C-alpha cells in the first residue's frame, strides 16, 4: 500500500480510503465489519464517513454508519491504527433531495453551536475521543456543487460567515476533539479563502478537499488541482467509479438486482446525457487492453499527482477486493492516450 501525507498534518494515509456510506442501508453491520477487517489487513488505514450516512439519507438511518464504525472500534480495538474522517452537514441552499431537515431540528448551519453539537454527537456514535479529519460536507453558501453549473450569486446571503466556521472548527481542534480539518464539495475560491484566513489568523489549515473525480468528471483539474499541488491540500476523490457506472454494469439500460441505481433511480447524476457514450468507450478501451473496467477507472484516479486518497466503496466483498487491488494496476501509455481521446471527444459528461 502507498501512503501519502494528509496535507501538512504529518498523518500518513493510505492511497486507498474505505468509503462507508452504504453501511446501515445497503450493507448490514456484519458486512461492514467484514469490510473493515479486510481493508485493514490489506494496509488501508483511512476510513471516511459522515454524520449524514447512510445514503440515501433518512431520519431512520441518520448516524447509522458512524454507529457501526463505533461498534467496530468497541469490538476490535485498534483505534490508533485508523485515520478516521467524518463530516458535518448543513442546510443545502441549492436544494436537498431527499430533504434532511430532521438533523439538529433543521437548524443546520456551520456556526459554533452546530459544529460543537455535531462533533460531540459524532464522537459519541463513533465511540472515540477524537476524529482525525473533520470535514465540512458542503458549503452553506450558494455555490456550485453536486453537479450544479452556472454560478448564481445570492445578494441576500444569510449563510454563516466562513470566518466564524473556521473559528468554530479551531475550537474543536484546540479541545482535542479533532486533529485536522477538511472541505468537501467546495470550490477554488472557498479553499483558497479558508487557507488565507488560516494563515492570517493562525488557525487550523485545510488539509484536504473531498470532491468528485472520475473518468466522467474531471472538473477538479480545471482549478482545484493546482490548489492541491501548490498548497499541499490534496484531493480525497469520491465517486471515482461514478456510482459504479464505470464498471459497465448499467450499460444498455441494465439495472442489476440490488445495485445502487436499481434501488435508488433518482441518483441519476452519472447516467444522464452523454455519459452512456463515454462509458461505453471507456469500458471497451479497458477490455481491449485486458483490463477490468472498474480497476482501470480507479487506477486512473490513483495515479493523479494531486491525489491524497481515492475513496472506494463496495456493497460486496468481491467488489471491495477488486477495488483495493486497483492500487497495483499501472496504466500503459497506450491506455492513457486512449483515455485522453475519449475525454477530448466527450469531456466531463457528469459534472
Q: What pLDDT, on a 0 to 100 scale, did the predictor assign at position 221?
A: 97
pLDDT, mean of residues 93-113: 80
In angstroms, rounded to a whole number, what is the distance separating the alpha carbons of residues 60 and 65? 12
Average pLDDT, the chain: 94
Please compute the mean of the pLDDT values over residues 79-98 and round it to a whole number.
86
The per-residue pLDDT for range 13-71, each reduced to its tens digit, is: 999 999 999 999 999 999 999 999 999 999 999 999 999 999 999 999 999 999 999 99
Q: Does the annotation count 53 as an active-site position?
A: yes
Sequence ranges of the domains in the chain: 3-244+307-328
Q: What is the spatial distance between Cα 160 and Cα 6, in angstroms, rounded to a whole number?
A: 27
Query: With contact defined as beta carbons under 8 Å apart, do 228 and 266 qualify?
Result: no
CATH homologous superfamily for the domain 3-244+307-328:
NADP-dependent oxidoreductase domain (3.20.20.100)
**Strands (DSSP E) along 145-300, which ranges?**
178-184, 206-212, 234-238
pLDDT value of residue 351: 87
pTM of the model: 0.95
Bridge partners (DSSP) listed for residue 109: none
Buried b (16+ CB within 10 A) or exposed e, 19-51: bbbbbbbbbebebbbebbebbbebebbbbbbbb
Query: What is the DSSP pairing of strand 3-5 with strand 12-14?
Result: antiparallel
Q: Which entry of 3, 38, 53, 250 is annotated as an active-site residue? A: 53
Q: Which residue has the higher pLDDT, 322 or 255?
A: 322
Q: What is the pLDDT of residues 253-294, one digit of tens each?
A: 888 888 888 888 877 878 888 999 999 999 999 999 999 999
Amino acid at each position: 500500500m502507498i501512503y501519502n501525507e494528509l496535507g501538512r498534518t504529518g498523518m500518513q494515509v493510505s492511497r486507498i480510503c474505505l468509503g462507508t456510506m452504504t453501511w446501515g442501508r445497503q450493507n448490514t453491520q456484519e458486512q461492514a465489519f467484514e469490510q473493515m477487517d479486510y481493508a485493514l489487513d490489506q494496509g488501508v488505514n483511512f476510513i471516511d464517513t459522515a454524520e449524514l450516512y447512510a445514503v440515501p439519507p433518512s431520519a431512520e438511518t441518520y448516524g447509522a454508519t458512524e454507529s457501526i464504525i463505533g461498534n467496530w472500534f468497541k469490538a476490535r480495538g485498534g483505534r490508533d491504527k485508523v485515520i478516521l474522517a467524518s463530516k458535518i452537514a448543513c442546510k443545502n441552499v441549492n436544494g436537498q433531495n431527499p430533504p434532511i431537515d430532521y438533523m439538529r431540528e433543521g437548524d443546520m448551519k456551520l456556526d459554533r453551536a452546530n459544529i460543537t453539537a455535531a462533533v460531540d454527537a459524532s464522537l459519541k456514535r463513533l465511540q472515540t475521543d477524537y476524529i482525525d479529519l473533520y470535514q465540512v460536507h458542503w458549503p452553506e453558501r450558494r455555490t456550485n456543487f453536486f453537479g450544479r453549473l452556472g454560478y448564481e450569486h445570492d445578494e441576500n446571503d444569510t449563510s454563516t460567515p466562513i470566518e466564524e466556521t473556521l473559528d468554530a472548527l479551531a475550537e474543536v481542534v484546540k479541545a482535542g476533539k479533532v486533529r485536522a480539518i477538511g472541505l468537501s464539495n467546495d470550490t477554488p475560491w472557498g479553499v483558497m479563502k479558508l487557507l488565507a484566513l488560516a494563515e492570517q489568523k493562525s488557525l487550523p489549515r485545510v488539509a484536504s478537499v473531498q470532491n468528485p473525480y472520475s473518468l466522467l468528471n474531471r472538473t477538479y483539474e480545471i482549478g482545484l488541482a493546482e490548489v492541491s499541488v501548490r498548497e499541499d491540500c490534496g484531493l480525497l476523490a469520491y465517486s471515482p467509479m461514478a456510482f459504479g457506472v464505470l464498471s459497465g454494469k448499467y450499460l444498455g439500460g441494465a439495472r442489476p438486482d440490488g445495485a445502487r441505481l436499481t434501488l435508488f433511480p433518482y441518483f441519476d447524476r452519472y447516467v444522464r446525457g452523454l455519459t452512456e457514450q463515454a462509458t461505453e468507450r471507456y469500458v471497451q478501451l479497458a477490455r481491449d487492453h485486458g483490463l477490468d473496467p472498474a480497476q482501470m477507472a480507479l487506477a486512473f484516479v490513483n495515479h493523479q499527482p494531486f491525489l491524497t486518497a481515492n475513496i472506494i466503496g463496495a456493497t460486496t466483498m468481491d467488489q471491495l477486493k477488486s477495488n483495493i487491488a486497483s492500487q497495483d494496476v499501472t496504466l500503459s501509455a497506450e491506455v492513457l492516450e486512449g483515455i485522453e481521446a475519449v475525454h477530448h471527444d466527450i469531456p466531463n459528461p457528469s459534472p
